[in-house]
């Protein structure tokens, strides 16, 4: 598609406008915008609501942007009422339009393997519905709850643990009546000191809706720690406006866990979004799902963790991919995860080493998996192995 003179001119002239609005646009995204949204201004590109309105959702739009493989083409055509496709133009601009093996693209565009359901897989492998004390509120651990506040996401990950409930029925938001019931439960349960807001992606909601929830939670004296889980800073960094940050900082201590998958996600835009949050005093953690041919190597994970540290995000969890229906092509042997942790620990700073966990099927919660460094006891010594595989005897009289 040729770049039209007029559109080109308009874009060049709004680069400064974009700079005034205080948001980076990388060269790659700029080229994508020119090519696929020639009418858009940089101000529009930088507007998170424009990004959501212009998500790539249907076969026609996807075909315009990507050279779809036969498997991708068939899968999108036959999705029916399964997890929909939704990709923000910004996030699409990070993917290789010609290569179906592009790691980020693999996480967003379905293939027909998604329709292959193995007997070990389930729609709700973590039995979250079983632990739901009121609709949307999962109370599994003694002192903390998972509060699902929306079923809408900016983009839909093909390996989503909550594919059963996100993106469905017109992508409606959970309602206030349901929030009120959850808040009543939390008021009555003084053992809950920690609330994790998730969904869906809570940062796709309007500022005043998020603030309504945060202020209600902060009004409950025994709730100390409020967290939010989101992929928005990675896939829709434009959402992280100064207004949002100014609002969030009123509810400290407020922490954010960001879903990151691949080093290519850590763009100048993402740096800026994370920097704004960090400057607002929000401690940032990351959560990564270990997935085959996306991030299942030491090199890729190490590069991701290093880039996250530079963006002021502290790696928190690597999850074994949950046995969600149709996820066989994404899952890796558990040994792959252990090898990745071994390849990080000691070889780089401990700040770059997340905890590798399996969320136990049936609602057992997150179980940490750690390579074995303790080799046993020899009388008054314990035998330890270091990161290079050398053994050391540590005096530890019984
Ligand atoms: C992951 C999770 C939490 C939070 O666990 P942390 O280890 O504290 O991050 C809480 N409730 C449920 C149901 C979860 O799956």
Could you tell me if the CB of 239 is within 6 A of ligand 1? no
pLDDT of residue 24: 81
pLDDT of residue 168: 77
- Is residue 292 flagged as an active site residue? no
Contact 223, 186 (CB under 8 A): yes
pLDDT in tens, 276-294: 999 999 999 999 999 999 9
- Spatial neighbors of 115 by CB under 8 A, at least 6 apart, are 75, 78, 326
Helix (H, G, I), strand (E, B) or coil at 227: strand
Could you tell me if the CB of 197 is within 6 A of ligand 1? no
- Is residue 160 flagged as an active site residue? yes
Q: Is the dihedral of CA 117, 139, 234, 38 positive or negative?
A: positive
Q: What is the number of the ligand 1 atom nearest to the C-alpha of 146?
A: 11
- What is the DSSP code (8-state) at residue 192? -
pLDDT of residue 169: 65
Contact 293, 331 (CB under 8 A): no
Helix (H, G, I), strand (E, B) or coil at 362: coil
pLDDT in tens, 110-155: 999 999 999 999 999 999 989 999 989 999 999 999 999 999 999 9
pLDDT in tens, 202-244: 999 999 999 999 999 999 999 999 999 999 999 999 999 999 9
Q: What is the number of the ligand 1 atom nearest to the C-alpha of 359?
A: 15
- What is the DSSP code (8-state) at residue 371? -
Helix (H, G, I), strand (E, B) or coil at 249: helix
Count Cβ atoms within 10 A of the Cβ of residue 380 and give its class: 0-12 exposed, 13-18 middle, 19 or more buried. Answer: exposed
Could you tell me if the CB of 227 is within 6 A of ligand 1? no
**Angstrom distance (rounded) from CA 142 to CA 315:** 24
pLDDT at 1 over 80: no
pLDDT at 388 over 60: yes
**Angstrom distance (rounded) from CA 22 to CA 40:** 18
Q: Is the dihedral of CA 322, 328, 334, 336 positive or negative?
A: negative
Helix (H, G, I), strand (E, B) or coil at 388: coil
pLDDT at 4 over 90: no
Could you tell me if the CB of 234 is within 6 A of ligand 1? no
Element (H, E) at 306: helix 298-310
Span 332-347, average pLDDT: 98
In order of 132, 168, 218, the CA distances from 83 in angstroms are 21, 7, 33
Could you tell me if the CB of 146 is within 6 A of ligand 1? yes
Q: Is the dihedral of CA 346, 347, 349, 354 positive or negative?
A: negative
Name the pTM for this structure.
Answer: 0.93
pLDDT band of residue 10 (cuts 50, 70, 90) is: very low
Contact 226, 253 (CB under 8 A): yes
pLDDT in tens, 290-308: 999 999 999 999 999 999 9
Could you tell me if the CB of 141 is within 6 A of ligand 1? yes
pLDDT of residue 238: 97
Structure-derived torsion over alpha carbons of residues 85, 88, 93, 98, reported in degrees to the nearest 10: 10
Nearest Cα residue to atom 1 of ligand 1: 366
pLDDT in tens, 176-199: 999 999 999 999 999 999 999 999
Stretch among 18-22, 72-76, 157-161, 321-325 having the lowest mean pLDDT: 18-22
The active-site residue out of 34, 106, 158, 162 is 162
pLDDT band of residue 15 (cuts 50, 70, 90) is: very low
**Angstrom distance (rounded) from CA 142 to CA 329:** 34
Among all chains, which residue has been given the structure tokens 């009418």?
A: 39
pLDDT band of residue 165 (cuts 50, 70, 90) is: confident
- Token representation of residue 120: 């070990």
pLDDT of residue 379: 97
pLDDT at 22 over 90: no
- Is residue 141 flagged as an active site residue? yes
- Is residue 322 flagged as an active site residue? yes
- Token representation of residue 205: 């909601």
pLDDT of residue 386: 97
Nearest Cα residue to atom 7 of ligand 1: 366
Residue 231's nearest CA partner among 191, 258, 261 is: 258
Residue 304's nearest CA partner among 290, 323, 283 is: 290
pLDDT at 6 over 90: no
Structure-derived torsion over alpha carbons of residues 187, 193, 199, 201, reported in degrees to the nearest 10: 120
Instruction: Tell me what the pLDDT averaged over the chain comes to.
Output: 93
pLDDT band of residue 14 (cuts 50, 70, 90) is: very low
- Token representation of residue 364: 């057992």
């Amino acid at each position: 598609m040729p770049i039209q003179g007029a559109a080109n001119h308009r874009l060049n002239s709004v680069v400064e406008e974009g700079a005034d609005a205080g948001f980076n646009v990388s060269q790659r995204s700029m080229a994508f915008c020119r090519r696929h949204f020639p009418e858009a201004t940089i101000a529009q590109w930088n507007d998170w609501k424009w990004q959501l309105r212009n998500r790539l959702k249907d076969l026609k739009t996807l075909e315009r942007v990507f050279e779809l493989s036969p498997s991708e083409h068939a899968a999108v055509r036959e999705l029916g009422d399964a997890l929909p496709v939704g990709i923000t133009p910004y996030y699409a601009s990070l993917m290789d339009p010609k290569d179906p093996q592009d790691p980020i693209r693999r996480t967003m565009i379905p293939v027909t393997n998604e329709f292959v359901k193995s007997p070990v897989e389930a729609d709700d492998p973590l039995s979250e519905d079983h632990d739901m004390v009121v609709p949307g509120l999962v109370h599994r651990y003694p002192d903390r709850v998972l509060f699902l506040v929306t079923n809408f996401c900016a983009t839909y990950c093909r390996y989503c643990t909550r594919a059963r409930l996100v993106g469905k029925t017109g992508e409606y938001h959970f309602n206030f009546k349901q929030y009120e019931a959850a808040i009543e439960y939390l008021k009555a349960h003084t053992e809950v000191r920690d609330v994790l807001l998730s969904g869906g992606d809570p940062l796709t909601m309007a500022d005043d809706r998020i603030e309504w929830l945060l202020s209600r939670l902060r009004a409950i004296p025994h709730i100390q720690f409020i967290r939010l889980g989101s992929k928005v800073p990675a896939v829709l960094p434009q959402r992280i406006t100064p207004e949002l940050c100014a609002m969030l900082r009123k509810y400290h201590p407020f922490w954010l866990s960001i879903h990151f998958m691949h080093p290519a996600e850590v763009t100048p835009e993402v740096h800026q979004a994370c920097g704004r949050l960090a400057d607002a005093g929000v401690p940032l953690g990351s959560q990564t799902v270990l997935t085959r041919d996306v991030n299942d190597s030491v090199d890729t994970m190490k590069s991701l963790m290093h880039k996250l540290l530079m963006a002021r995000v502290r790696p928190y969890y690597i999850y074994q991919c949950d046995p969600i229906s149709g996820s066989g092509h994404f899952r890796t042997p558990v040994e792959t995860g252990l090898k990745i942790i071994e390849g990080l620990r000691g070889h780089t700073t401990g700040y770059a080493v997340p905890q590798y966990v399996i969320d136990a099927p049936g609602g057992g919660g997150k179980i940490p998996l750690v390579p074995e460094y303790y080799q046993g006891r020899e009388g008054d010594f314990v035998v330890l192995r270091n990161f290079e595989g050398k053994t050391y005897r540590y005096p530890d009289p019984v």
